[in-house]
Amino acid sequence: MPLSEHEQRMLEQIEQQLYAEDPKFAHAVRSTNPQVHYKRRIVKSAVGFVVGVGVLMAGLVINAGAATIAISVAGFLLMLASTLWALTSWKRMTGIGEEPARPSRQGRQGRQGGQGRQGRPNRQGRPKGTFMERMEERWRRRTEGDL
């Protein structure tokens, strides 16, 4: 959603005040790229994953009874946490997973009944859309008695 003219003017005034008060900080903030931060997080999570593999292997090699299982599980959990951290960083860096504006109810109804965008049937005869949209449509049909 674009800013109004008033909001743009206010933002420009705030930016000018920031440059006047602390030009060094303002330049540092303006020149940084947020993708660099996410790339750094992905590298750190890759290192964490490798460390997790090492801990898992160490748990398998060490013959210390019950501690072996605990060490192996800790390594696996470290690998899992690192993978999740990398995936969330990747999604934020690339913009994947940002939910677009939801279509209106009439826009969704036009695609129902196993038909695609131009009125062609879908490959498997089921409606397109997200899981939640399909569930909402089923609920709507059920409540209206259109079974």
Q: For residue 16, which phi and psi values (nearest 5 degrees)?
A: -65, -40
pLDDT the model gives residue 99 = 60
pTM above 0.75, yes or no: no
pLDDT the model gives residue 146 = 64
- pLDDT at 49 > cutoff 90: yes
pLDDT in tens, 107-123: 444 444 444 455 555 55
Q: For residue 51, which phi and psi values (nearest 5 degrees)?
A: -65, -40
Report yes or no: 72 and 56 within 8 Å, Cβ to Cβ. Answer: yes
Give the H/E segment covering residue 130. none
The string of DSSP letters for 65-122 reads THHHHHHHHHHHHHHHHHHHHHHHHHHHHHTTTPPPPPPPHHHHHTTTTTB-TTSPBP
Report yes or no: 57 and 75 within 8 Å, Cβ to Cβ. Answer: yes
pLDDT in tens, 64-106: 778 888 999 999 999 999 999 999 988 888 877 666 555 555 5
